[in-house]
Amino acid sequence: MAIHDTTRRRLGPRAVLLALGLALPWAAACGESAPNCPTLDAGSDDGGGVEGEGGADADADGGADAAADADSEVAAAVCGNGALEPGEECDLTAFGGATCASLGRTPGTLACADDCRYDTAGCAACGDGRCEAGETPLTCAAECAVVDVSAATVHTCAVLADGSVRCWGAHAGHQLGGVGDVLRPVRVPGIDDATKVAAGEGHTCVLHEDGTVSCWGRSGFGECRSVAARVWPPAVVTELAGVTALAAGAHHTCAVLGDGTASCWGRSDFGNLGNGTHPARAAMPQAVTGLGGVTTIAAGAQHTCVAASGGVSCWGRNDVGQVGGNDRNWHDLPERPVTGGARAFGVGSYHGCACIMMPAWPPSAQGLYCWGNNAYGQLGVAPSPDALAPTHIAIGCPAALEGGDTFTCSLPAAPGSVLCWGGNSFGQLGDGTQLSRYTTAEVLDVADAVQLSAGASHICARLLDGTLRCWGRNVEGQVGGGTSARHLPYPVEPVGL
């Protein structure tokens, strides 16, 4: 505890004795100027008079000054004793009932400074442009509402309204500059202008406000713009500008550009780049061949699909029919499994679905089509051999579709519950059970979702109020609820989101 320089001033004898609490017999009855009491020479520097002057008036004035000095110095000297005393706002952990909220700030951690004044640095202030500790999407939506979420294999990341990014789950996927596995969201340092996020198996990329992209994490295939075991801090993908959307597969990433084209980089031995080549690694983005008017993009484990002019096009690995080209050949150029307008589409690790509404088609032919692996009923029909081409599943169109390794979920076109179907060994259908089913299961307590993002065996829903709900596999903490439970078959709120 710092001591003020003024404590070095010598005090008058009475002030000293009173300050020290000494009760000498003459101290209580005597004034400094009384003739029958011990005195110091009038000319001495006792702090009670003016040097070289004597007399009762001088001594009285000096004694009053000294007493005042003594009183103030005694008060200052006890700052740090843990007792709240006059002149102090706080003392150590004593706050007299004061909190961040009572001081007009968003709830947070109120501290006490060395001078026994409030330290409000830990109190978040909604409106300062930064989502801080103690603020949530419900208490400060302008800064803390979740605006984008991406679930991956073992981790999840979200972008908040203030442009910051939170990630949770196994650090192999998000790194965070050395932070280990985390069970709850933590802030990614150095990012405050993100608009979108795309999480892969071991890497993460964000889209910045200026249309640039930066990535971090594992980069053995060039996922983060260079071939390296790990990239941190985030590396800018310098060849890209004007990006409007991102999608990350297991080991590759793709971006939609402002001119309606797409580029991809990372692993490409399955034709992941979509440009007719298949190098093992590609750290520099490569333009996908033959695409125009791309509006939406989604990536499976080793394949990618886009909604573009003329329908849905896919490329990459195709051993279970996930490209939808009616074969099992890898496609290093885009294949168009869906021709015409697709109102919604989504891909899982090894399958895809799209909602097709063509005016020229009979009503019975319109609706949901799916293709690829169906070992767990993730296509919406009883488990069956792979569907190598789009198969009509149901009439009607959801607003959005998302797929994981073995399951699919849909966002209703009208307000209502999220529906999921397929594998459910980790509770990824969110119905409170772990029973797999090809018929739809209603996710518990999620009726106002506006975005879905599925990882391998877990999924998150962004709600209308800016909060999140996640459920499914949690072995690596990817659900973010702060618990070490291995699976959560019902939605939970990631801590603070």
What is the per-residue DSSP string for 348-376?
-SSEEEEEE--TTS-GGG-EEEEEE--TT
DSSP strand pairing (458-463 vs 468-473):
antiparallel
Distance CA 388, CA 68 (A): 92
Q: Which residues contact 26 (CB under 8 A, 6 or more apart)?
A: 37, 38
**Strand-pair partners of 441:** 420
User: Does residue 370 lie within any of the structural domains?
Assistant: no
Query: Is-cis flag, bond preceding 412, omega within 30?
Result: no
Q: Are 151 and 407 in contact (CB under 8 A)?
A: no
pLDDT at 348: 98
CA–chain centroid gap for 71, Å, is 51
pLDDT at 52: 37
- pLDDT tens-digit profile, the chain (497 residues): 433 333 333 334 343 333 333 333 333 334 433 334 443 333 333 333 333 333 444 344 444 454 444 444 444 558 999 999 998 999 999 999 999 888 877 667 889 999 999 988 777 678 888 998 778 999 899 999 999 999 999 999 999 999 999 999 987 666 665 566 788 999 999 999 999 999 999 999 999 999 999 999 999 999 999 999 999 999 999 999 999 999 999 999 999 999 999 999 999 999 999 999 989 999 999 999 999 999 999 999 999 999 988 789 999 999 999 999 999 999 999 999 887 777 889 999 999 999 988 778 888 888 999 999 999 999 999 999 999 999 999 988 899 999 999 999 999 988 889 999 999 999 999 999 999 999 999 999 998 999 999 999 999 999 999 999 999 999 999 999 999 899 999 999 999 99
DSSP symbol at 68:
H
In degrees rounded to 5, what are phi and psi of residue 255? -130, 145
DSSP H stretches of helix in 150-217: 171-174
Distance CA 186, CA 124 (A): 16
**Amino acid letter, 204:** T
CA dihedral 59, 60, 66, 67 (to 10 degrees): 150
User: Does residue 12 lie within any of the structural domains?
Assistant: yes
Residue (of 428, 431, 364, 360) closest to 395 by Cα position: 364
Strand order in the sheet with 468-473: 449-454, 458-463, 468-473, 487-492
User: Does residue 257 lie within any of the structural domains?
Assistant: no
Give the Cβ contact number of residue 324 at 10 Å.
30
pTM of the model: 0.77
User: Does residue 26 lie within any of the structural domains?
Assistant: yes
User: Does residue 98 lie within any of the structural domains?
Assistant: no
Residue-range definition of the domain harbouring residue 43 = 5-77
User: Does residue 23 lie within any of the structural domains?
Assistant: yes
User: Does residue 168 lie within any of the structural domains?
Assistant: no
Domains contained in the chain, number: 1
Distance CA 110, CA 124 (A): 10
Residue (of 456, 478, 461, 463) closest to 407 by Cα position: 456
User: Does residue 160 lie within any of the structural domains?
Assistant: no
pLDDT at 167: 93
